[in-house]
Each structure stands twice: as C-alpha cells, then as structure tokens.
Chain A
Amino acid sequence: MSDRFEELAQAWLNGAMSDAESDELQDMLRSSDECRERLLDFASLDAGLRDFASQATGDVWSDHPDDKPNVISFSTFGWLAAAAVVAISTFVFFFLALNKEDEMMGKGYAVLTRSVDVEWEGKSFEAGDIIPEGRIQLNSGVAQIEFFGGATLVIEGPGDLDIRSASEAFCRSGKLRASVPPAARGFVIDTPDGKVVDLGTEFGLEIGDKGAPEVHVFDGKVELHREGSVREIVDGEAVSGDSELTADRSRFVSALDLDSQVAESNSALFERWREFSRTVRRDPRVLAYFPMDQPGSWNRRLFNEATTGSEIDGAIVGANRVPGRWEDLGKSAVEFTPMGSRVRLAIPGEFESLTFMCWVRVDSLDRVYNALFLTDSYQPGESHWQIQEDGRVLFSFLHSPKNNCMSRSPVVWDISKSGQWMHLAAVLDLEKQVIRHYADGELTLEDPIGNRYRISKTRLGHGEIGNWGLPNSPEKDWFAIRNLNGRIDEFAIYADALTSDEIAEIYRVGNPH
C-alpha cells in the first residue's frame, strides 16, 4: 500500500481535500481493489470513532476523570474501566510503540551544568537548563556550559556570547576556557576579529578591547583564522593580536577550579539550610519531618526528626537511597523510580489544617498521576497530593464517598525541568476553607473550597510518599501505578496552614542554588 494513498485517505477523512487530490484518490480507488478495501476500513474506523465519541461525551474523557472517588469503579463504559486499571503486561508494547510515534522534540545546543554566583543579563539559566540558540550574557560569576557536540566552556563574567550550534559559539566579549576532547574536535569559537578552530585541546580565550582574541593553548593545538590567514598555535603558546606570549593557565578558570568554587558555595548554602532545619525539628506544628541528612544508605527507615518522634518514622519500600540536593555533602534523597517504590507512614489524629511540602526532582511524569503523598485507599477527610501527567499539581480531599474535592495548580513542570530540584507545597486551610498551591516558594493558586465540599476536620492515617498503595484492601489484587519517577529530598507535613511568607522563606533557605 502506497503512503500516498494513506495520505489521501486521511485527508478525505479530515474533509480537507483539493479537487486534484480528490481526483488522484479516485484514480487509485478505480485501479486498485486493495485501495478500495483500505478506504472501507478507514470509513469503518471513522464511523466507529464517531459512535464512541458521542457516547463518551462529557463523561469518560472529560478533564475530570476523578470527579468520582479515586477508587476506580467505572460502570458507564466497560472499555474505559479496563483502560484505567491498565493491565500492564499486555499493554506495554502498544504504549511504547505509540509513544515513539509521538516523540517529544526539544530545542537547544548545550546544557548549563554548573554556575557560581552568576548574575545574568537578559535570560537567566539554572543548572540543568538547556541553552537554545542565541545570546547569553553574564555580568559576574562563573558558569559551565557543555555543548551537545562535546566541548565544555567555563565562562567568567562579565561575558557575552551567542550559541550558534552544538559545536560553535560567537564570543563578543569576556573570558572563557574551552576543553575539547577528541570527539568534539572542530569546535569553533568565532570572535569579532578572527575565529578559533579547535583541533582537540584545552585553551583559554579572552576578547581584548578591540575585539581581537587572546588565545592561550594549554594542550593540543588550535587554528586561529584571522585577517585572511591561518595560524597554528600549539600547547604552551599564546597569541594576542600580533604578539606572541607564553600560555598562562592561571588566568583562566578551569572546570577543576570551578569544582572548588562550587564546593565552597555549596557548603555555605548547605550550612545555612542545616541551621534552618534545626528550627523545623523543634517546631511543635510539625507532624512529620524527614530532612534526610543522616548517613546510612542501607537503612530502610526514614527518620522523623520532628518532635513527634520515631513513631512517625517512615518505612522505605523498594525505593533507592540516592544523593540529594547537596550530593557532595552527604545530603541524601529517596528515589521512587522502581515501580513498587514508596515510603510508608502512619500519622494518627485529626487536624484543622495541613501543609505538605517537599523538595522534589522529577525526572519525568510517566503516570497519569504521579504521587507525592497519598493516604491509603481514600476515605472521607483524607487528602491526596500528586502531580498530573500534564505538569499540574493535583491536591484533593474526599468530602464524602461520591464527593471528591479537587484543586489543580497551574502547570509547574515540563520536560525542560527534568532532573532539576523544585520546591512544592500545598496548604489545606480549613479555617479559611481554601487550598493553596506553591511552587518554588511562590503562590501559584489559591482555590476556595466550594460549599458542597466543606469539611471541618482532616485526617492522614496510613499513607505513603511517592506512590499509592492499597495494602489494606485484601479484596483487590491490583493496584494503581503512581510511583514518582524522580526523587524527594526533605519532606514535611505541618498540622497548620503555613503562610505564604513562611513558605517563601523555607524555599529560599532550602534552595541549593
């Protein structure tokens, strides 16, 4: 079957055809019974989809599949029920095949891997950000940029350059050090007065007042293309305009120098956080606090450091102990990537308000619902806090068996944030009857609780971080898959509605950058 036929048949289905295309399609139909068969198949599909779509209107595919309690009990359409309970084994292949067709596309040529004390001019970047084509300017500080082509630049502010491709940049002003392993050979740095082509090396470059480059080669060799001529500079040599110098390593910050700067900056931030963390430990409003700063990756117990004590310790199941926000300083986190991962908790009592917060590093949102904290099953008065696959945070509580109050934040995550730490908080304020969402210390949504959902007390009971299990429901032999593909570092629940100022401060002090 020719692709052209398929193309025409699809256009016919979409009602988007020119006269010429219509003639072409008809000629194919005349000459090939296979084409006629295929067209009948498409008509059949079209009719079937139309039927199912009109049956499903406003019910099964609405944006609120969870308007009913989260416990899955579908009666309207059998086919949806089966889809929701995702029978893993048979579905996986189809899933993968389809997702491949709808492959995500990104734009950019490099990634910012580290930065110390950078003040950006114009667009700003954080570690982990993809850098697109275009200009980047630093007023001060040092940043490390790794090009997809393999070259690494350490740039000192003030600096001004354009990223042109995965293996080329234009440096308008500033000072940088390039490390170009053999795989990245051919990396080019253009300047206002001449072009440096790297032949596999390490070199420093500074743009002088008149735009002419000063090039110091520390290892290997580079070609300097300038004023119509090509000049080779080998290790130990340096060239500034027309004069020759000796290469001086000490003038350019290397990736290794950056290491120690990063370490210094990190330990200052880490100490500041630690100091603050002590106040959280003593705060009587805190029900559960997991700072995750104890060594012992083998330990399956997550220590609760709040005054509520070891009764509230978490039980790590399936999840990995991994490095957290300050990995060089022994700060750990819990990773929920293996499907069965979770941290089990049991928190007794009834509360008038609750605040949930955590630092989370989402690697991807693979599930329809990606768990932060969910109580087991989902009984009246209980809350669920999770991230939807579309990057919105969903905070919900059950009012009564058929009455699920759901609040969705604006989108806080997309794939460009993959692997980066983010602070999330949700407040259930039953005094003011509102739900508040926060991302990176900022209020993203204040959502009033509708009259029909009003409750006066909330409960936690048994629940878990990073997944949703129903271990107390022996009658069910399936479970929803909601494990978070990512890490959680520092997790707290307060028996109080924290203010926006408090949350902003907690974010500021805990921010690893």
Chain B
Amino acid sequence: MENPETEERYEQFVRLFTRCEPSLRAFVRSLLFSWDDVDEVMQNTGLVLWRKFSDFDPDTDFMKWACVVARFEVLAWRRDKARDRHVFDEDVINLLAEEAAVNLDRFSNQRHALEKCLKKLPDNLRKIVLAAYEPGVKLNEVAEELGKSATAFYKMLNRTRAKLQECIHVETAADRGGAG
C-alpha cells in the first residue's frame, strides 16, 4: 500500500467484506447451479467490490450494495457460460435477487439457526451431512466410502436437509415476526 489513506480504506473494506461474505455467498448460491460456479463468481465479485469501493456510501448497507454488484456479476457470468452449463434464466435470477433483497438478514439468521440445529442432529447424520459438504468431495465417492448406494445416500442427505430446514424454520420463527 502506497499511502496510509489507501491502507485504511483497504482495512475498512476487508472488515465489511469479511463480515458479509458468508451471507453474500449464500445469496450467490441461490442464483447458480453449482459451488464451482459460485466460487468463480465470488472471486470476480470480490475484485469488483474492491475496485468500486470508492463508490460505496459508508452510511448505507454494505451487504445490500454487495448483493447488487453480485447480481450483475452473476448475470455477466451467465452470458458467458449459459451455453455449456445449467443456469437460471435471466428473469428468474432477477426475481430471486429481488426476493432476497426483501430480507437480507435471512442468510445470517439462518446460519445461526443452522448452528443450533446441527447440534440437535444425531451424530451419524451430522457426520454424513458434513462429509457430503466437505469442499472438493464427490457425493458418489462419499456414498461409496460410507458403504451406501448412491440413491440411498442422496435420500438420506435430502431427508437430513429437509429436517434441518424444518428446524431452522422453527428457530427463526421469531426473526420472521412469528409468521409461520
């Protein structure tokens, strides 16, 4: 860093970005089909956010701003890759992004709830679900390692996710103003 001012700005950016990164990642995940795609878009998004950081008004919500930038990054990425991968149509991406913007706190609230809900999961299921999410693993290989057929493994994974979803729903009922 050439001067103290830039350094201070950089520190501020890192602080803001680090705090909202998990939620931003979840938001981007909702618009794409795979984690590989998400990682690619997140990298671009990070760079763009830093480059445009001077446009950011510190009195406004960083997460909200980041989501706007990320949405455009997803759309740009989509135009490049749409031919050879599964992607949502542009209108669906916009609809999802708008839905998300209504309540951006959902991602961090649900993340906290998930932490609680994982605790309540029986050990064996927790192991399985975390094994399936370990970065870089292939689900078929995890299934094989656990001695389960791929179908049985997917079923188990889907059921566990549905259970976690139910639990998160209960845990975050208060955040949603008791609706549901």
For B100, the chain A residues whose CB sits under 8 A away are 40
Inter-subunit contact B133/A50 (CB<8 Å): yes
Instruction: Output the nearest chain B residue to A26 by Cβ-Cβ distance.
Output: B92
Within 8 A of B (CB), among A38-75: 39-54, 56-57, 60-61
For B122, the chain A residues whose CB sits under 8 A away are 95, 98-99
Inter-subunit contact B86/A39 (CB<8 Å): no
Instruction: Name the distance in Å between B75's Cβ and chain A's nearest Cβ.
Output: 15
- Among the listed B130, B131, B133, B163, which residue makes an inter-chain contact with A101, where contact means beta carbons less than 8 Å apart? B163
Inter-subunit contact B167/A47 (CB<8 Å): no
- Among the listed B33, B89, B167, which residue makes an inter-chain contact with A15, where contact means beta carbons less than 8 Å apart? B33
Verify if A12 is at the interface (C-beta below 8 Å from B): yes
For B118, the chain A residues whose CB sits under 8 A away are 52, 79, 83
Known contacts A45-B161, A102-B156; decide if A50 and B95 are in contact (CB<8 Å).
Answer: no
For A19, the chain B residues whose CB sits under 8 A away are 86
For B86, the chain A residues whose CB sits under 8 A away are 17, 19, 22
Verify if A193 is at the interface (C-beta below 8 Å from B): no
For B26, the chain A residues whose CB sits under 8 A away are 43-44, 46-48
Instruction: Name the distance in Å between B46's Cβ and chain A's nearest Cβ.
Output: 16
Inter-subunit contact B133/A40 (CB<8 Å): no
Interface string of A139-173 (1 = CB under 8 A from B): 00000000000000000000000000000000000
Inter-subunit contact A45/B130 (CB<8 Å): no
Within 8 A of A (CB), among B92-127: 92, 95-96, 99-100, 106-107, 110-111, 114-116, 118-127
Interface string of B47-89 (1 = CB under 8 A from A): 0000000000000000000000000000000000000001011
For A61, the chain B residues whose CB sits under 8 A away are 126-127, 130-131
Inter-subunit contact B120/A45 (CB<8 Å): no
Inter-subunit contact B91/A30 (CB<8 Å): yes
A-B contact count (CB 8 A): 146
Determine the distance from Cα of A15 to Cα of B150 in the docked complex, in whole angstroms. 14
Question: Interface size on A (CB < 8 Å)?
Answer: 51
Interface string of A94-112 (1 = CB under 8 A from B): 1101110110000000000
Q: How large is the interface on B (under 10, 10 to 19, 20 to 34, 35 or more residues)?
A: 35 or more
Instruction: Output the nearest chain B residue to A53 by Cβ-Cβ distance.
Output: B133
For B29, the chain A residues whose CB sits under 8 A away are 43-44, 46-47
Inter-subunit contact B33/A17 (CB<8 Å): yes
Determine the distance from Cα of A46 to Cα of B167 in the docked complex, in whole angstroms. 14
- Among the listed A13, A36, A45, A80, which residue makes an inter-chain contact with B114, where contact means beta carbons less than 8 Å apart? A45
Instruction: Name the distance in Å between B42's Cβ and chain A's nearest Cβ.
Output: 11
Inter-subunit contact A14/B163 (CB<8 Å): no
Instruction: Output the nearest chain A residue to B158 by Cβ-Cβ distance.
Output: A10
Known contacts A37-B99, A52-B133, A61-B131; decide if A47 and B126 are in contact (CB<8 Å).
Answer: no
For A57, the chain B residues whose CB sits under 8 A away are 134-135
Inter-subunit contact A44/B111 (CB<8 Å): yes
Instruction: Name the distance in Å between B170's Cβ and chain A's nearest Cβ.
Output: 10
Verify if A29 is at the interface (C-beta below 8 Å from B): yes
For A40, the chain B residues whose CB sits under 8 A away are 30, 96, 99-100, 106
Within 8 A of A (CB), among B131-177: 131-135, 139, 154, 156-165, 167-169
Determine the distance from Cα of A333 to Cα of B139 in the docked complex, in whole angstroms. 46
Known contacts A44-B26, A44-B110, A83-B123; decide if A30 and B95 are in contact (CB<8 Å).
Answer: yes
Known contacts A33-B99, A37-B99, A53-B134; decide if A98 and B163 are in contact (CB<8 Å).
Answer: yes
- Among the listed A15, A17, A29, which residue makes an inter-chain contact with B92, where contact means beta carbons less than 8 Å apart? A29
Known contacts A37-B99, A40-B100, A61-B126; decide if A12 and B131 are in contact (CB<8 Å).
Answer: no
Inter-subunit contact B130/A12 (CB<8 Å): no
Instruction: Output the nearest chain B residue to A48 by Cβ-Cβ distance.
Output: B114
Inter-subunit contact B168/A41 (CB<8 Å): yes
For B20, the chain A residues whose CB sits under 8 A away are none
Inter-subunit contact A49/B119 (CB<8 Å): no
Instruction: Name the distance in Å between A247's Cβ and chain B's nearest Cβ.
Output: 51
- Among the listed B89, B125, B135, which residue makes an inter-chain contact with A98, where contact means beta carbons less than 8 Å apart? B125
Inter-subunit contact A102/B125 (CB<8 Å): yes
Determine the distance from Cα of A93 to Cα of B114 in the docked complex, in whole angstroms. 17
Inter-subunit contact A83/B119 (CB<8 Å): yes
Q: Quick one: which of B96, B120, B123, B159 has the most chain A CB within 10 A?
A: B120
A-B contact pairs, 27 of them (CB 8 A): A10-B162, A14-B157, A15-B34, A26-B88, A26-B92, A36-B96, A40-B96, A44-B30, A44-B111, A45-B161, A47-B107, A48-B110, A49-B129, A49-B161, A50-B35, A52-B114, A52-B118, A53-B132, A53-B133, A57-B135, A83-B118, A94-B167, A97-B163, A98-B121, A101-B163, A368-B123, A389-B123
Q: Give B residues with C-beta under 8 Å from A.
A: 22, 25-27, 29-30, 33-35, 86, 88-89, 91-92, 95-96, 99-100, 106-107, 110-111, 114-116, 118-127, 129-135, 139, 154, 156-165, 167-169
9 closest A-B pairs (Cβ-Cβ)? A43-B30, A53-B133, A47-B26, A48-B114, A43-B29, A36-B99, A44-B110, A53-B130, A94-B120
Additional A-B contacts beyond A10-B162, A47-B107, A53-B131 (18; CB < 8 A): A15-B34, A29-B92, A37-B99, A44-B30, A46-B26, A47-B111, A49-B114, A49-B133, A52-B133, A54-B133, A54-B135, A61-B126, A79-B118, A83-B121, A91-B120, A95-B122, A99-B122, A102-B125
